[in-house]
Chain A
């Protein structure tokens, strides 16, 4: 079965430090991977995606993600965290075939301390 795993329920980081939010996937065929962020009482906002090409993908708000095929990972990173980055982050994989539905991970709460 195709799936996404986010092994950490919460990540704590001090403002100004680099952050990593982990994501691993299991799909048949080529993966199409996405990161979304959800602020309290808000819908999901698209951050970035990997479809093909360069393994390092840059997205909104200074975030980037590295696609690693051998490790089946797509970790989200930012060189210097901001308090305003505190939110719930979801990794997702697009399922192939006739549907464009996304399968989401369980989410990781990022808490950036001032």
Chain B
């Protein structure tokens, strides 16, 4: 497709389980970002990839959160030992290289931790 895609669209899990969220960026976009949207915290930056490298991981809330990007394309955000406070919508975005380019967002993955 032409836009950023994310899967799954919804994920319900039990506390303590691990989850993986996937992002397929727009073809050719070298930069990829993960954000989290929740009622209490608004929109928060998590991590930024340029190619397969992550020069900014400053937004990851704890060491239970990790992300990787392979082949300069698909990215996976992994949350280990999920907690109820991890419940949120996880948004992925991508952009062309260059710091002035707008980011294009995917539809998000709604994560619910029971």
- Chain A residues in the interface with B (C-beta under 8 A): 32, 34, 36, 42-46, 49, 51, 90, 94, 96, 98-107
Given contacts A43-B91, A44-B105, A96-B99, 8 further A-B contacts (CB under 8 A): A43-B108, A49-B100, A98-B55, A99-B55, A100-B48, A102-B35, A103-B45, A107-B43
Structural contact, B103 and A102, CB atoms closer than 8 A: yes
Chain B residue nearest to A34 in the complex (CB): B102
The list of the 10 closest CB pairs from A to B, nearest first, reads A99-B56, A104-B43, A43-B105, A44-B105, A101-B45, A43-B107, A46-B102, A51-B100, A98-B55, A106-B42
- Chain B residues in the interface with A (C-beta under 8 A): 4, 31, 33, 35, 42-43, 45, 48, 55-56, 58-59, 91, 93, 95, 99-100, 102-108
**Which residues of A sit under 8 angstroms from B35, Cβ to Cβ?**
102
Given the interface pairs A43-B91, A107-B42, the reply to whether A101 lies near B102 with Cβ below 8 Å is: no
**Which residues of A sit under 8 angstroms from B56, Cβ to Cβ?**
98-99, 101
Q: List 14 A-B contacts (CB under 8 A).
A: A32-B99, A32-B100, A43-B105, A44-B91, A46-B105, A94-B99, A99-B58, A100-B33, A100-B48, A100-B103, A101-B45, A102-B35, A104-B43, A107-B43
**Which residues of B sit under 8 angstroms from A107, Cβ to Cβ?**
42-43
Structural contact, B107 and A100, CB atoms closer than 8 A: no
